[in-house]
Every structure is written in C-alpha cells, then in structure tokens.
Amino acid sequence: MRKLPGIIKARRISKGLTQKQFASMVGRSQQLVQKWENGTGMPTSKQLKVVSEVLDIPIGNLIDSDDDQVSENNFEDVDTDQVDKINVRPQRHLTSSLLVEVPFLSVKAQSSPDRIVLNNCQVDTGETHPVLSELIDKRHEHLVVTVPNHSMEPELRQDTRVLCRHVEPNDIPHESGAVYVVMYTGRLVVKRIRTNDIRTNNTLTLHSDNEKFGQIVITPQEIECMWRVLFKIYEPVH
C-alpha cells in the first residue's frame, strides 16, 4: 500500500500542480507541503479534508494509506511560515481521537438487510468502518455502505464506500436531488432521487445513473429506511 506522502505528491503532479500552486489551493505554505511530501510532517484531520477535496481523492483512501505512517516520532504539523512560535508535540495517529467507528454495511450484509437493520433503522452487522470524526453530525445516525454494483457509475463506482446519514421518516417526502440508500420491502438499493413525488402522486422514483440499470418506482408505504449519501470515503483504483 502506498504511503500518504507518495500519494499526495503523485496526485499533485498528475494534476499538473507545482508545490507552490498546491500550497496556495490548500491555504498552506510551500514549506509545509514539502514536509507532507517528504514524510517529515503529516496533515492534520482538517488539512486532510482540504487535501482530499483539492486532489479529488476520497478521504478514506488517504486514511487507509496512512497505516502506521504517523508515529510518536513525528511532530504536530505546524506551518512555520504562519506562526511566530513553534509548539512541537507528538502527532496523534489518525486511528485515535480523529476517527470514529461507524456501522458498516458490506455487499454481503446487503443480501439480507432485514436481518441486520433493527428498529428505528439501527444497523448491526458486527462490522464498523473508521470515519473522520468531523464528518459526523452527532444529531444523526450514520452508516458506511459499499456500492454493490455498476448502477451508479460513473459517479459511484462498484465497491466505493460512502458515508450516509439517516433520514427521519417525516423528512422522506422532502428528500431529493441526491443519492440515497433505500431499504424497501426487505431489499436495499443505492439510487438517486431526482424529484420527490410522494406528496403529489404517492410514489417515489429511484433512478440509476447508469441507464442500463433503469429505475424503480415505489410507494412511501414500502419504504422501511432511508439514508442520504454524504461523502465517498473509499474508492477502489480500477
């Protein structure tokens, strides 16, 4: 598995960015970017989020690449060009307080959702997935789901893992313009809701981005649970 410094550098170069340009885009100094790329410094969780957005890499890919990269021998990522005094202290590993464990719904678990989705749409598969804590809204339940097939390509490729937020039943008639994980009549799918016709026609159309997979029309009475897709947290390299 490639380490974080190599991934940042390779992705920056592939996008045709100089270190100076990349530093400007992430709001940091070129000196700090050099540290990220040579492994003498690591991005903080907030910086990692910006890096993922600028380089167009799911945060989960960067977290997975970190592995044991950050240790007690590395120092807090301080931008010396932007502070007068350097406060040096051990860098926390990404698997500590920066991450939370979220219920994980793998492709295998999706084959029998009625067995693992409990009352109030609580999911218990016995598996969890690490997610950056700042992506979690503590007011809502969250779930990590593996996209099971090619129906949502090109945006969501098969085996991409996405972070989802639970949609309360009363809010379902108002949800649209995004991708959702929908459980209905014992089946679970990842589809897009373009317009919500529940209040007008008492139906909800679930669209595939890949036209080969078509669409599904259901009634609100058939919906058991719904989660809104928020972020890609891992995307396989094909």
- Assign residue 86 the CATH number of its domain: 1.10.260.40
Residue 172 has a pLDDT of 97
Contact call for residues 62 and 47 (beta carbons, < 8 A)? no
d(CA 59, CA 107): 21
Q: Domain tally for the chain? A: 2
78 plus 104 within the same structural domain? no
Where residue 201 sits, what CATH number does that domain have?
2.10.109.10
- Same domain for 23 and 106: no
- What residue type is assigned to position 224 of the chain? E
Last residue of a domain, one of 96, 121, 143: 96
DSSP SS3 for 19: helix
Same domain, residue pair 6 and 59: yes
Instruction: Give the pLDDT confidence score for residue 97 in this predicted structure.
Output: 53
230, pLDDT greater than 50:
yes
From 150, 162, 149, select the one nearest 210 (Cα to Cα).
Answer: 150
Above 80 in pLDDT, residue 94?
Answer: no
Q: Which domain holds residue 67?
A: 1-96
pLDDT at 217 over 90: yes
Percent of the chain residues topping a pLDDT of 90 = 40
Does one domain contain both 206 and 110?
Answer: yes
Pair 75, 156 in one domain: no
The verdict on 135 and 156 lying in the same domain is yes
Mean pLDDT of 88-113: 68
Q: Domain boundary residue among 62, 96, 130?
A: 96
**Spatial contact of 45 and 93, defined as CB atoms under 8 Å apart:** no
C-alpha distance from residue 32 to each of 59, 64, 78, 150, 195 (Å) = 20, 22, 8, 39, 45
Closest CA to 113 of 233, 166, 121: 121
Q: Is residue 218 within 8 Å of residue 184, measured between CB atoms? A: yes
**Mean pLDDT computed over 62-87:** 40
> Tens digit of pLDDT for each residue in 76-92?
333 333 332 222 333 33
Out of 54-58, 96-100, 183-187, 230-234, which region has the weakest mean confidence (pLDDT)? 96-100
Tokens of 23: 């530093």
Q: Which of 177, 167, 235 is nearest to 207 (CA)?
A: 177
Q: What is the DSSP letter of 168?
A: P
- Taking only Cα atoms into account, the Rg of the chain, rounded to an integer number of angstroms, comes to 20
Phi, psi dihedrals of residue 116, rounded to the nearest 5°: -120, -10
- Residue 211: what are its φ and ψ, rounded to 5°? -60, -20
- Checking if the pLDDT of 139 tops 80, the result is yes
Q: Are residues 151 and 224 in the same domain?
A: yes
Q: How much is the pLDDT for 71?
A: 30
Q: How far apart are CA 234 and CA 162, in angstroms?
A: 7
Which helix or strand (DSSP H or E) is residue 81 part of? none
**95 pLDDT above the threshold of 50:** no
| Helix, strand or coil, per DSSP, at residue 157 | coil
Residue 55 confidence (pLDDT) above 80: yes
One domain for residues 118 and 226: yes
In the chain the first and final C-alpha atoms are separated, in Å, by 15
Q: What is the pLDDT of residue 43?
A: 85
